[in-house]
Amino acid sequence: MDEDSRIADAAEVPDDSTLLFTVRDGFDEREAILTRTAAGEVTAFENYCQHWTDVRLDKGSGATKRDGELVCGKHGALFEDDSGCCTYGPCEGAVLERIAVTVENGGVYLTDDDYEFVQVGSSMEYDLSSNRSLGF
Ligand code: FES
C-alpha cells in the first residue's frame, strides 16, 4: 500500500466519535471523517451534513456519535456509521458521501481514486461564529 495514502493508525480511529482528515479533489480540498462501526469496520465520509451542506459533522474535535449513528449538531439528523444513511431528521433517507478506505497492516489507507490524502485534521480556516470556511 502506498504510504502517501496512509491516513492514520487503525488504532487511532474512534468508535464513539470521528477522526477528521483532509483530502484533495482536483484543486479543491475537502474534509472527511473516519469512524469505527460496532462491527469493527473503519468507514469514511465527507464531513458535511446532507441537510445543510455547509454544516460540518466534525468541527475539529470529533463528531458526536450515539448508538452507532453520527449526530449532526445543527438539527439533530442521525446517520448510520456503516452506511451513512440518515435514519432521522430533516434529511431522512439521504446518504453521506462515502470515501473509500481500507485497513491494512494496522494502518488506514485512502483507496478512493477520486481523492488524494492531504493530512490529518483540517487544512482550512473556519470562522467559528458562522461555521463557514474562510477563503475557499
Ligand atoms: S444541518 Fe444537519 S440536520 Fe440540519
Ligand 1 pocket at CB < 6 A: 49, 51-52, 55, 72, 74-75, 77, 89-90
132 within a domain of the structure (yes/no): no
- For residue 134, being part of any structural domain is answered with no
pLDDT single digits (tens) 85-96: 999 999 999 999
Dihedrals phi, psi of 11, to nearest 5 degrees: -70, -20
**Full residue range of the structural domain in which residue 116 is found:** 3-122
pLDDT score at 125: 72
pTM: 0.92
User: CA–CA separation, 5 vs 8, rounded Å?
Assistant: 9
Domain membership of residue 127 (yes or no) is: no
Nearest C-alpha neighbor of 97 from the set 45, 24, 32: 45
Within-domain flag for 78: yes
Question: How many domains does the chain divide into?
Answer: 1
Residue whose CA is at the smallest distance from ligand 1 atom 1? 52
- Residue with the smallest CA separation from ligand 1 atom 4 is 75
Q: In this structure, what CATH number is given to the domain that contains residue 101?
A: 2.102.10.10
State yes or no: pLDDT of 136 exceeds 50.
no
Cell of 131: 461555521
> Closest by alpha carbon to 35, among 89, 92, 95, 83?
83
